[in-house]
Structure 1
Amino acid sequence: MVDLSQYLPILIFLGIAVALSALFVFLPMGVSRLTGTHQPNAQKNSEYECGFPAFEDPRSQFDVRFYLVAILFIIFDLEAAFLFPWAVSLDLTGWPGWITMMGFLFELAVGLAYAWKKGALEWE
């Protein structure tokens, strides 16, 4: 026979987490309906992100430059994420680690120069 009593604290924790999550989601909705603040109208349901209605269908294709800028951001964000552990462990890796990181940075610099030359960073 398997003793499942050791899983009881985990189940209690999960139950409390689900109850609190449901409370945080449904309590504000219930309070707004009870206090009368839930009164949807055209003004409240209008566009609020940019202040004016969308020009086109929201499912239309984006310009490729949006994706290029997003990819470049991810690449250079990862570069920064790699630089911190490298800087901390430079005394352990020595010259081979330094040379490897300089090669990595050179490769990223060439990629940035290429994207810059192609106009991926230009906006009209």
Structure 2
Amino acid sequence: MGEAGAGSYQTLGLLLLVGVVVFILAMIANRLLSTIRPSAEKATTYECGLDPVGGDWAQAQIRYYVYAYLYVLFAVEAIFLFPWAVVFDRPGFGMAVVVEMAIFVSVLALGLLYAWRKKVLRWT
């Protein structure tokens, strides 16, 4: 490895060292400048400015998790679909790339169809 390679590692090491030193100094400054005064009021649960009422256990409906899961599923699809759409017509990308994306979208469409048939996508 030449001089350029050694210089790159020295720069990286220096950057890491500076980062660690800044982190340690920030933690020390936080410890020295913060005031710690525990009280009963600070130990209570804060819920949007209201006093907590009732127990701490609440049942959530599963459909909200299904909506979240479907959102994540289609967000991931979009993450894969946009870069593919930008580069698929470049030289070197043949029909195999189009078929692979068609399979990918088909699997996701089958999942959406399944959710629709099970009436998961109805809000009421």
Same fold (TM over 0.5): yes
C-alpha change, 1:105 and 1:43, in structure 2 (3 Å) is same
CA deviation vs aligned residue, 1:64-123 (integer Å, no higher than 9, x gap):
545544443332222111112211112133544334323322321220121233344456
1:101 alignment partner AA: M
Match of 1:81 among 79, 82, 94: 79
Match of 2:30 among 20, 28, 31: 28
Alignment of 1:1-124 (within 5 A): 10-33=12-35, 38-48=36-46, 53=52, 55-56=55-56, 64-65=62-63, 67-92=65-90, 93-121=93-121
RMSD: 3.5
- Equivalence for 1:3: none
C-alpha change, 1:72 and 1:55, in structure 2 (3 Å) is farther
> Any gaps of 5 or more consecutive residues in structure 2?
1-5
* Structure 1 position 8, deviation (Å): 5.8
| Aligned-partner Cα distance in 1 for 2:123–2:40 | 34
Helix, strand or coil for the counterpart of 1:91?
Answer: coil
| Aligned-partner Cα distance in 2 for 1:81–1:117 | 26
* Structure 1 position 44, deviation (Å): 3.0
| Aligned-partner Cα distance in 2 for 1:26–1:70 | 40
* % identical equivalent positions: 37
Helix, strand or coil for the counterpart of 1:16?
Answer: helix
